[in-house]
């Protein structure tokens, strides 16, 4: 029982660990080893007064247990009893003089009391006992400050001296992840797991990295092996559920999250993720109940509030709004938690037509999130320049007939929040089309070109060297996407950022169709600004950068229309709302599909929809989102200034007042 409870503690499954400790103590009240463990768990749960009671009880009978004194010190310092905590940490040092961690605890206690000199001396003593720890702490400080290069130098220096140092290896993996280098992160984390096969944290870190790089089979095997090693850890089932969601196996994902919740009923990540999966497959009421259950168990779990808001059709109560208000400025909460609360509260106020307060919340959420995003607008422009310089009419003509001729793919591109989910849902309602979701496979083709680097050139310049090999790239794309299909002649790929890769599509899949989802520029941009994306879309968290990105999108689409005049159909959201049947007929004709009446009743189609519009496309077309940017017009001057060249080309009644 002790080992199992300890395992839950190490896996941060505190509620389960506490329950096991209490059950054991009912049978053996004098099991002081178990009581110390319970005190430790209570400290981790921030139940400091309860922890103090349990630990003092043990120490009264066995005053020479270092662990009891250490955890009592932790409970006391959290309650503001600094002097008493220092006495506990000093007692630990008396009992274990060579314990570097005890000196670190003492240093932190001194620091909390403002005794900087004493803290520095205690920290120096800890580093003398554990010099490598000093280096890792410094590396961690560099990582938190965004100084990844400095952190990497320290970790690599440690590994030169000790190639088997698993902590330095794992940190290198985390550094690579922070830089968006998920493949490198996976390599480093594979090494960490190889060095320490039972290192539970490294195994989960590796699993998450493998999901990011779409190595799903390897990830599944890793997680199933981990479950065999530690079958009672809900975190492992939670990550496995995320893997199934990534694959589009949402029913299996729900079952897996249910197993995690069975192991720990208040497992917040699993409750939230199960809510997402239920929403995706159209079980809205169950998803709402799951999110609310998550909130009941974790009142400060901001992701659950945003998940409810992100249903778009959900409305918050007065009490829920008051709760969110109490959290948005709580600096004790992680920034990402406050980001979620701000976006959710923004949606709540927008639903109540309090647009100024709504924008203030959206704006605060964006400003909190932007420092954590890695976006360089100059790099975006440079990449687009390279694409335009490389994929020319001459290149297309020289490679005519070399691509894979299969007409199966139907690409839906455009900026997020511009109606692409509606277009995909219409197409997926056709008997000859499998609706999938935002597939990662065209970007995988680009990575393959970068890895192959024909004659030393990556993407896009490397396309000049492929010729007849372009067909193999097209076949590779079709092979990768086969797992999402259900046997229909055609399938959708709704990755919006593929708009920059239309030239690549023309080369490797010349008979594919492309549909560009268009919307009023300010509606597109404001729709992005008030949407908290799970990942990617890093250009959306600053109004100026968002406007500049829209101009780049427009530049690329103008270029593709010029050199590929029949490949891309623009579908304007506003026109689809105003004239559904005629616009739908244009769409179906462009995709070379026979007309079927059921595409007009797309909202009756039962399928998984992953995006934020999942609930909106399960109802008939409505017009309330047209020109919704006007609600926030007073706050959009920085965006309007950037987009002015495009906005002045619109009819006057579609322009903001400042330009008229």
3 state SS for 316-385: CCHHHHHHHHHHCCCCCCCHHHHHHHHHHHHHHHHHCCCHHHHHHHHHHHHHHHHHHCCCCHHHHHHHHH
For 505, residues 6+ apart whose C-beta sits below 8 A from its C-beta are 409, 411, 442, 498, 512, 514, 567
Question: CA 590, CA 96: separation in Å to the nearest integer?
Answer: 76
Confidence band for 614, pLDDT divided at 50, 70 and 90: very low
**Can you give the pLDDT at residue 20?**
84
Question: CA 13, CA 10: separation in Å to the nearest integer?
Answer: 8
pLDDT of residue 613 exceeding 50, the answer is: no
Q: Residue 570: which H helix or E strand, with range? A: strand 568-572
Span 638-652, mean pLDDT? Answer: 95
Question: CA 407, CA 592: separation in Å to the nearest integer?
Answer: 9
Contact 632, 346 (CB under 8 A): no
Question: CA 127, CA 121: separation in Å to the nearest integer?
Answer: 10
Contact 543, 550 (CB under 8 A): no
How confident is the model over 358-409, as pLDDT tens digits?
Answer: 999 999 999 999 988 889 999 999 999 999 999 999 999 999 999 999 999 9
Residue with tokens 């109004």: 543
Question: CA 594, CA 45: separation in Å to the nearest integer?
Answer: 60
Contact 569, 587 (CB under 8 A): yes
**Checking phi first, is residue 419 left (phi over 0); if not, alpha (psi -120 to 50) or beta?**
left
Higher pLDDT, residue 464 or 77: 464
pTM recorded for the entire structure: 0.74
Torsion of CA 215, 218, 220, 222, to 10 degrees: -130
Span 89-102, mean pLDDT? Answer: 84
DSSP code of residue 390: H
- Provide φ and ψ at 203, rounded to 5°: -65, -45
Confidence band for 453, pLDDT divided at 50, 70 and 90: confident
Question: CA 292, CA 301: separation in Å to the nearest integer?
Answer: 11
Residue with tokens 């290149």: 395
Q: Residue 102: which H helix or E strand, with range? A: helix 100-112
Span 206-216, mean pLDDT? Answer: 91
Span 22-42, mean pLDDT? Answer: 85
Q: Could you tell me how many residues make up the chain?
A: 660
Contact 85, 111 (CB under 8 A): no
How confident is the model over 501-544, as pLDDT tens digits?
Answer: 999 999 999 999 999 999 999 999 999 999 999 877 999 999 99
Q: What is the DSSP string of 262-291?
A: HH-TT-HHHHHHHHHHHHHTT-HHHHHHHH
Question: CA 57, CA 32: separation in Å to the nearest integer?
Answer: 9
**Checking phi first, is residue 365 left (phi over 0); if not, alpha (psi -120 to 50) or beta?**
alpha
SS3 per-residue string spanning 51-68: HHHHHHHHHHHCCCCHHH
- Among candidates 495, 477, 331, 525, which has minimal Cα distance to 413? 495
**Can you give the pLDDT at residue 454?**
82
**Can you give the pLDDT at residue 10?**
74
**Can you give the pLDDT at residue 200?**
86
pLDDT of residue 53 exceeding 50, the answer is: yes
**Residue 433: CA count within 13 A, CB half-sphere:** 30
pLDDT of residue 616 exceeding 70, the answer is: no
DSSP code of residue 509: -
Confidence band for 121, pLDDT divided at 50, 70 and 90: confident
Range 12-26 burial, b when 16+ CB lie within 10 A, else e: ebbbbbbbbbeebbe
- Among candidates 362, 356, 329, 326, which has minimal Cα distance to 344? 362
Question: CA 427, CA 585: separation in Å to the nearest integer?
Answer: 11
Contact 636, 463 (CB under 8 A): no
Contact 421, 611 (CB under 8 A): yes
Q: Cis ω on the peptide bond leading into residue 616 (within 30° of 0)?
A: no
Span 185-204, mean pLDDT? Answer: 91
Q: Cis ω on the peptide bond leading into residue 265 (within 30° of 0)?
A: no
Contact 73, 105 (CB under 8 A): yes
For 126, residues 6+ apart whose C-beta sits below 8 A from its C-beta are 100, 101, 102, 103, 104, 107, 133
Confidence band for 590, pLDDT divided at 50, 70 and 90: very high
Span 439-465, mean pLDDT? Answer: 91
Computed over every residue of the chain, the mean pLDDT equals 89
- Provide φ and ψ at 650, rounded to 5°: -80, 160
**Residue 198: burial class (beta carbons within 10 Å; 0-12, 13-18, 19+):** exposed
In Å, what is the CA distance from 238 to each residue of 221, 224, 335, 392?
15, 12, 23, 47
Residue with tokens 């095997």: 221
Residue with tokens 């003398």: 128
Range 400-421 burial, b when 16+ CB lie within 10 A, else e: eebbbebebbbbbbbbbbbbbb
Confidence band for 315, pLDDT divided at 50, 70 and 90: very high
Confidence band for 89, pLDDT divided at 50, 70 and 90: confident
Higher pLDDT, residue 141 or 245: 245
Domains in the chain and their CATH numbers?
1-129 (1.25.40.10), 379-623 (3.40.50.300)
**Can you give the pLDDT at residue 606?**
65
Contact 252, 233 (CB under 8 A): no
Question: CA 269, CA 508: separation in Å to the nearest integer?
Answer: 40
Strand order in the sheet with 490-493: 433-434, 490-493, 409-414, 513-518, 568-572
How confident is the model over 225-263, as pLDDT tens digits?
Answer: 998 888 878 889 999 999 999 888 899 999 999 999 988
Assign 488 to helix, strand or coil.
coil
**Can you give the pLDDT at residue 36?**
85
């Amino acid at each position: 029982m002790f080992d199992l409870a300890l395992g839950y503690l190490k896996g941060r499954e505190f509620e389960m660990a506490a329950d096991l400790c209490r059950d054991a103590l009912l049978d053996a009240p004098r099991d002081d080893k178990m009581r110390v463990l319970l005190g430790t768990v209570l400290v981790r749960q921030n139940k400091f007064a309860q922890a103090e009671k349990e630990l003092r009880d043990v120490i009264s009978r066995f005053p020479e247990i270092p662990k009891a004194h250490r955890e009592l010190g932790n409970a006391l310092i959290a309650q503001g009893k600094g002097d008493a905590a220092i006495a506990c940490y000093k007692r630990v040092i008396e009992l274990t003089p060579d314990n570097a961690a005890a000196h670190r605890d003492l240093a932190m206690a001194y620091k909390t009391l403002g005794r900087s000199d004493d803290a520095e001396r205690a920290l120096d003593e800890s580093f003398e006992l554990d010099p490598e720890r000093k280096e890792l702490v410094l590396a961690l400080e560099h990582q938190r400050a965004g100084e990844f290069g400095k952190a990497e130098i320290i970790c690599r220096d440690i590994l030169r001296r000790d190639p088997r140092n698993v902590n330095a290896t794992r940190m290198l993996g985390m550094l690579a992840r922070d830089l968006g280098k998920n493949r490198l992160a996976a390599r480093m984390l594979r090494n960490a797991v190889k060095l320490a096969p039972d290192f539970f944290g490294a195994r989960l870190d590796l699993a998450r990295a493998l999901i990011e790089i779409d190595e799903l089979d390897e990830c599944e095997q890793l997680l199933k092996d981990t479950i065999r090693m530690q079958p009672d850890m809900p975190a492992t089932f939670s990550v496995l559920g995320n893997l199934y969601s990534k694959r589009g196996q949402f029913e299996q994902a729900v079952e897996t999250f249910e197993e995690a919740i069975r192991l720990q009923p208040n497992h917040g990540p699993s409750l939230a993720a199960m809510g997402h999966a239920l929403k995706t497959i159209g079980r809205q009421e169950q998803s709402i109940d799951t999110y609310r259950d998550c909130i009941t168990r974790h009142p400060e779990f901001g992701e659950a509030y945003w998940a409810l808001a992100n249903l778009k059709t959900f409305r918050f109560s007065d009490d829920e709004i008051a709760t969110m208000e109490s959290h948005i400025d709580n600096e004790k909460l992680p920034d990402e938690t406050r980001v979620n609360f701000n976006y959710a509260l923004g949606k709540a106020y927008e639903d109540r037509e309090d647009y100024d307060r709504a924008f203030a919340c959206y704006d605060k959420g964006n400003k909190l999130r932007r420092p954590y995003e890695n976006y360089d607008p100059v790099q975006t422009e440079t990449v687009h320049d390279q694409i335009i310089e490389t994929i020319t009419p001459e290149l297309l003509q020289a490679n005519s007939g070399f691509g894979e001729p299969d007409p199966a793919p139907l690409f839906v591109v455009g900026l997020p929040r511009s109606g692409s989910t509606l277009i995909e849902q219409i197409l997926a309602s056709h008997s000859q089309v499998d609706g999938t979701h935002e597939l990662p496979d065209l970007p995988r083709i680009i990575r393959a070109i970068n890895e192959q680097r024909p004659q030393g050139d990556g993407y896009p310049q490397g396309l000049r060297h492929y010729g007849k090999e372009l067909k193999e790239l097209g076949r590779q794309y079709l092979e990768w996407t086969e797992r999402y299909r259900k046997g229909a002649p055609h399938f959708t790929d709704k990755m919006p950022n593929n708009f920059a890769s239309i030239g690549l599509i023309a080369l490797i899949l010349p008979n594919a169709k492309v549909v560009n989802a268009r919307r009023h520029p300010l509606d597109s941009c404001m729709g992005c600004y008030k949407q908290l994306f799970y990942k990617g879309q890093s250009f959306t968290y600053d109004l100026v950068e968002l406007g500049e990105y829209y101009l780049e999108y427009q530049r690329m689409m103008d270029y593709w229309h010029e050199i590929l005049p029949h490949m891309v159909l623009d579908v304007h959201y506003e026109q689809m709302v105003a004239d559904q049947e005629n616009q739908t007929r244009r769409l179906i004709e462009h995709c070379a599909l026979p007309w079927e009446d059921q595409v007009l009743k797309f909202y009756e189609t039962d399928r998984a929809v992953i995006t934020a519009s999942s609930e909106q496309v399960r109802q008939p077309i409505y017009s309330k989102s047209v020109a919704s940017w006007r609600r926030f017009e007073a706050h959009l001057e920085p965006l309007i200034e950037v987009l002015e060249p495009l906005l002045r080309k619109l009819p006057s009644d579609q322009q903001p007042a400042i330009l008229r």
